[in-house]
Structure 1
Amino acid sequence: MEAGRQDYDLLVIGGGSGGLACAKEAAQLGKKVAVVDYVEPSPQGTRWGLGGTCVNVGCIPKKLMHQAALLGGMIQDAPHYGWAIQPVLHDWRTMAEAVQNHVKSLNWGHRVQLQDRKVKYFNIKACFVNEHTVCGVAKDGKETLLSAEHIVIATGGRPRYPTHIEGALEYGITSDDIFWLKESPGKTLVVGASYVALECAGFLTGLGLDTTVMIRSIPLRGFDQQMSSLVTEYMASQGTRFLRGCTPSRVRRLPDGQLQVTWEDLTSGKEDMGTFNTVLWATGRIPETRSLNLEKAGVNINPNSQKILVDAQETTSIPHIYAIGDVAEGRPELTPTAIMAGKLLAQRLCGQSSDVMDYDNVPTTVFTPLEYGCVGLSEEEAVARHGEEHVEVYHAYYKPLEFTVAERDASQCYIKMVCLRKPPQLVLGLHFLGPNAGEVTQGFALGIKCGASYVQVMRTVGIHPTCAEEVAKLRISKRSGLDPTVTGC
């Protein structure tokens, strides 16, 4: 055990988006800060650098591969617009190398930022010794003791492996691996119905790979279910195959290297099987709390979710230990909320502010082939909270101008605004399915955060010709029973 115990004002465990934001903010405000970060390789041996899930195996590589797939769609559209295109083939290796190089540049950028702000960085795996001290173990087994006045846990989560399924661990991969594959995954079975499952399946299909999604119950649980159905309908129309109401029982490797998957159809009870080159598990995530020895520090977790219990100030059961981001109970598993929570926590610890993170009306987008952006309540949540008679839903099916010349199917492009029925009809939620959903939702999120009403949205002038302007033209309510299909310019 290394004797040189170093004392810090703030120790952050976890070098992901939330942890880094908290550490950098506190250091800028004059605190002595250290960050410990360590990536346990995935069961398939994939490892990565500083920056957490979002940078390395999440939002960033995901959006770039989604973009690669969208470009494929644009190339198909191009002849309609007069471009003479030779037959084009996608090369996985070229894309993967470019994406991975960008991610590595971000890893380096994070290291430089920590140095610039005088934050001490330790590449060690940490666990608690007591409520003020952690012990970190380096790759070579060397131990370091670190103590701090305040400790922030920001260790995030990792994909869940269905270990009860024979062959799952040996032969399957997760989102921890897909972005770092050197070779194309080929014919792929994606197991799960989370946004991770649908996003990965969407870009794999878009890159021309034979892709099947196996869904046990419902897609996009926790999201508006009408929107969720439209997302999967569009994916199916683009060539993604769906096996619904099915659950895998085993994976075997055949002599030719292919993976033979056996599954049960839950409605008929019958067994079925198919062969694939790759099986991608996307059945949820588990928080990284198990190896932290939280009991040594007295930090309480929810025994079911394994997440750390926190109050509105992000404080755990121990007053000077905090948890932010995906590892904390009841928080949205989103990068920007972790970043904002981390910054606000640092400001409170440094006496700069007493503001706490507001988790209401957090916007997000699912980067499926047709993007789905939302902010506020789903229709189901609004009805559960306020009663059907007090909720008004305005909606429209619209056709993006870009889709017209290319004769692209736009039957799933849809917007709905969930409002209170009582004038001025406060906006409770906005749901947008179509191109650039993230860009559109971000702007409207500000209005909804500021308490926008339906009346105010209707007074907002649309930008023509855009998809976003359709939000400012939502005239037809579900209650009216009128056809919500937008016609004409």
Structure 2
Amino acid sequence: MTYDFDLFVIGGGSGGIATARRAAEYGAKVGLAEFNRLGGTCVNRGCVPKKLMVYASRFPDIFEESQGYGWSPVESHLNWEKMITAVNNEVDRLNGIYQRMLDNSQVQLFRNYACLVDPHTVEVGDTKVTADKILIAVGGHPLKPDIPGIEYTIVSDDMFHLREQPKRIVILGAGYIGVEFSCIMHGLGTEVTQIIRSDKILRGFDEDIRSTIQDAMQAHGIRILNNSQPTAIEKTPEGLKVYVKCDDGHGEIVVADAVGLAATGRIPNIDKLGLEKVGVEVTNGSIVVNEYSQTSQENIYAVGDCTNRINLTPVAINEGRAFADTMFGGKHRIMSHENVPSAVFSQPEAATVGLTEAQAKQQYGEDAIQIYRAKFRQMYYTLTGKDEKTLMKLVVEKATDRVLGAHMVGEHAAELIQGVAIAVKMGAKKSDFDATVGIHPTAGEEFVTMR
């Protein structure tokens, strides 16, 4: 049978675009549907604008710390409008790049919503197209808790479009998005209160990472209400009143300047795809796929956040390229979801790869695991008068000496763990770390000197 396309991609985010371009490189005729801006969450509402705001938020500390090195005090004030405009101008620039990349790859772009009609047919606006293979890469969207007054809050996507800087903000949620925005807004000069349901932030991360970051955030002046949850939000002349209930029965009202940020998770964008019409299995709101990103319908595939495996942009890109390599390049490979590094761009920053201490003990047994840990003040802070701690940690299997996990909290944690992740991915042993000569003086040398 002849189809309009060899591959049709639904979703123009990082995963969808990477897949489309890779397939086109192999000579496939590719179409792609995207109703919104190209680049998806990462470029438009996530990684890129958020990291730019992280950079912006750190200048006040740099100004202050410079005095320990002999620089005179700096009086500087944030121009919120200028900062937000610059951030969004960069997003616009990247959107143009994505458009040119698709054009150069000869991928046909459809600017509309797409839904499945049958296993080989996609309806895009008023047009129907057919494809031999279909890839779903629609990502996810923020989830708001169901409480009275939640309509007065904004989600993380909206942070990049606030016309004015809030003087007071409430962050709902203990995940990495909530943690990062708490630190960003605090660094930019906003009074921050973060409300979390459990006793610690960053569930799923290593306990030492969770404790070290939370202690530092509180020491910096961020107020964290743990074991608490909002029960209602009321709009008043004084601002948004957030009614909070604590596990111990204590109640409290926190007033936000003009906004409460809901950062309580994301869910896949699959409601309007017509998956049920074509027999694509969905479990717990996510598309079910095998190791080749294949759904229950043999010619339909899915990658990225809509599959809810590991919701990271580089993972979606790798999943998509592995699919294209296998289906169109004759290079059969799968995306390994083991030892995927990740970072939290908080203040202090954190990064991790491999198993946490708890995961390793659960998987191998408590007596089979050796923990190496170092906590110290980096040289940079010795002249600043600040007691900022860096944490480095290795989780090692005793029997094989293999490093199962590496974790860090501190300056440039993400940059350092990116390199360490290569070693962990290759199955490096603790003795390999020990045999590596450190670069002195650096924080990174602690990874090869821990005993």
TM band (smaller chain):
over 0.9
Q: After the TM superposition, which residues 165-314 of structure 1 pair with which residues of structure 2 at under 5 Å, given as runs? A: 165-169=147-151, 171-217=152-198, 218-256=200-238, 258-268=239-249, 270-277=250-257, 278-302=259-283, 304=284, 306-314=285-293
How far 1:86 sits from its partner (Å)?
A: 3.2
Is it true that 1:445 corresponds to 2:415 in the alignment?
no
Q: Could you tell me whether the CA contact under 8 Å between 2:26 and 2:329 is conserved in 1?
A: no
Tell me how large the CA RMSD over aligned residues is.
1.3
Distance 1:340 1:212 in 2: 37
* Secondary structure in structure 2 of the residue aligned to 1:333: coil
Distance 2:56 2:23 in 1: 38
CA distance in 1, matches of 2:387, 2:43: 33
Show CA shifts across 1:446-482 (max 9, x none). 111111000000011111111111111111xxxxxxx
Equivalent position amino acid for 1:55 in 2: V
Contact 2:233–2:241 (CA<8 Å) still a contact in 1? yes
Shift of 1:297: 1.3
Aligned residues: 448
Q: What is the Cα deviation at residue 109 of structure 1?
A: 0.5
Q: 2:312 maps to which residue?
A: 334
Name the CA distance, whole Å, in 1 between partners of 2:176 and 2:46: 11
SS at match of 1:182: coil
Q: Work out whether residues 415 and 471 of structure 1, in 8 Å CA contact, stay in contact via their aligned partners in 2.
A: yes
**Corresponding position of 2:409:** 433
Hey, what's the Cα distance between the residues in 2 that align with 1:71 and 1:149?
A: 52
Which consecutive unaligned segments of at least 5 residues does structure 2 have?
none
8 Å contact 2:123–2:129 — kept in the other structure?
yes
Q: TM-score, normalised by structure 1?
A: 0.90
Q: Which amino acid aligns with 2:22?
A: E
Give distance in 1, aligned partners of 2:32 and 2:103: 11
C-alpha offsets along residues 258-287 of structure 1, whole Å, 9 cap, x if unaligned?
Answer: 11111211222x332121021000001111
Check whether the contact 1:6–1:145 (CA below 8 A) recurs between aligned residues.
Answer: no
Give the structure 2 partner of residue 94 of structure 1: 82
For 1:80 and 1:155, locate their aligned partners in 2 and report how far apart those are by CA, in whole Å. 49
Deviation at 1:182, TM superposition (A): 2.3
Report deviation, 1:351: 3.8
Corresponding residue for 1:482?
none
Q: CA–CA distance in 2 between the matches of 1:52 and 1:172?
A: 22
| Equivalent AA in structure 2 for residue 387 of structure 1 | G
**Unmatched 5+ stretches in structure 1:** 40-48, 138-142, 476-489
2:132 pairs with 1:161: no
Q: CA deviation at 1:323?
A: 0.7
Structure 1 residue ranges, 4+ long, deviating more than 3 angstroms after superposition: none
Query: Which among 414, 418, 428 is matched to residue 395 of structure 2?
Result: 418
Shift, 1:6, TM fit:
7.8
**2: CA distance between counterparts of 1:17 and 1:374?**
22
The yes-or-no answer on 1:8 pairing with 2:1 is no
Identity %: 39
Structure 1 counterpart of 2:327: 349
- Kindly indicate whether residue 66 of structure 2 is the aligned counterpart of residue 81 of structure 1: no
**2:65 alignment partner, SS class:** helix
Question: Partner letter of residue 281 of structure 2?
Answer: N
Q: Secondary structure at the match of 2:272?
A: helix
3-state SS of the aligned residue for 2:421?
helix
Q: 1:104 aligns with which of 89, 92, 95?
A: 92
Does 1:59 pair with 2:42?
A: no
- Report if aligned partners of 1:398, 1:470 keep a CA contact under 8 Å in 2: no
Q: Hey, what's the Cα distance between the residues in 2 that align with 1:376 and 1:285?
A: 23
